[in-house]
Amino acid sequence: MRYGFRLPWRRAPVPETKAAHGFVAFQEEMQARWTGRSYESLAREGFMRNPAAYRAMRLVSEAAAAVPLLLYDGAEELDTHPLLALLARPNGRMGGVDFLETLYGHLLLSGNAYVEAVALDGSLRELHLLRPDRMSVLAAADGWPEAYEYWVGGRARRHAAEDGMLLHLRLFHPLDDRLGFPPLAAAQVALDLSNAAAAWNKALLDNSARPSGALVYQPKEGGNLTADQFERLKSELEEGYSGPARAGRPLLLEGGLDWKAMSLSPKDMDFVEARNGAARDIALAFGVPPMLLGIPGDNTYANYQEANRAFYRLTVLPMIGRTLSTLSAFLARWHGGDLRLVPDLDQVSALSVERSEVWSRLKEADFLTEAEKRQAVGYSE
């Protein structure tokens, strides 16, 4: 039913007017934008752009790959074996150190590493590393991996999970049963903070380093900005002076306008210390003492030698141990026997002080036989 009079709650809308009394405040909506956790995102924003992440990753992967390996069959150390020759030259494009460095790099950057075995006439001939970002894990109905698909050039090559030709190494992931968790993803906030601080500083330097704030309108004759003037000024501020690429760009002010800084200055925000703190968090995620990265203000260890020894004991050797354990089981089935790969700690210069102390104590242990002393330091009888 329609009536001839207008209900009070159905009044005609009153046109909105804008009044600017005294000042125009400009503020950009603050929303944090984080780097994705994909292999490509972490590789570009971390390894390829951030010096702390790059150096920490290189330290771990290079140190782990440079440790010489020993091969044992049970308790017997083998000086020559086809497996040792294969690890010295896994394929025609890579040497043993290059192969292991890339393998550890994939683990640190992706949380996953894939080793493909190439056999001919039942004999293992080559080992190849497959990029984690090109690999897809196909799950069966029970949730466990059923197959792996490796995509290159728009074509997929499938490996059944049970055929024994593909080894999947992964780091612990609390929420995923099939894929590992990369250490760099745990430092994602610190990584983005470090990169954003560097980009902001660069933008400030390019644009004379002026902070944001508010425009104050104080005309001598009095009055306020009209709605059109308000909208035009707001549009000019958003288009010409917002965003990191325009940080610090000087304003061109008309009559009656004055600039009042409202935000903290670069000195107050102390970008240098913020970047150092972010670098420490990145080093912490990789297990690298900040002292080894040259970050100022870190006195956790008494000297460089102590920090280097802790780095090997707490980071490098655990990673080598878990990787060689899985790799030994994968390769041993091609040769039979109780084959296992172990690191040769006698060749690690960072641990030479510890080894010297052990030998000195064993030398004075008269209650041990020579055979027991050899076993205590890892040698056969």
For the chain (381 residues), the mean pLDDT of every run of 10, in chain order, is 44 50 45 67 87 93 94 88 93 94 95 92 90 90 88 88 89 90 89 81 62 60 68 72 61 61 58 80 91 76 82 94 93 85 88 77 75 70 65
Q: How far apart are CA 159 and CA 255, in angstroms?
A: 73
pLDDT given at position 36: 64
**Any domain includes 381:** yes
Q: How far apart are CA 223 and CA 242, in angstroms?
A: 28
> Of the residues 218, 244, 268, which one is the last residue of a structural domain?
268
Q: Which residue has the tokens 């497996």?
A: 83
> Of the residues 253, 268, 283, which one is the last residue of a structural domain?
268
> Of the residues 268, 291, 314, which one is the last residue of a structural domain?
268
Integer CA distances (angstroms), 347 to 98, 148, 186, 355, 381, in order: 18, 37, 32, 10, 20
**Any domain includes 111:** no
Domain range spanning residue 232?
16-32+210-268
Integer CA distances (angstroms), 290 to 53, 110, 285, 346, 349, in order: 11, 22, 11, 26, 20
**Any domain includes 181:** no
The domain total for the chain is 2
**Any domain includes 106:** no
pLDDT given at position 264: 55
**Any domain includes 85:** no
**Any domain includes 368:** yes
Q: How far apart are CA 137 and CA 155, in angstroms?
A: 15
Residue 90 and residue 130 in contact, taking contact as beta carbons nearer than 8 Å:
no
Residue 104 and residue 315 in contact, taking contact as beta carbons nearer than 8 Å:
no
Sheet (strand 339-343) strand order: 76-78, 69-73, 339-343
Record the pTM: 0.74
**Any domain includes 25:** yes
pLDDT given at position 257: 66
**Any domain includes 217:** yes
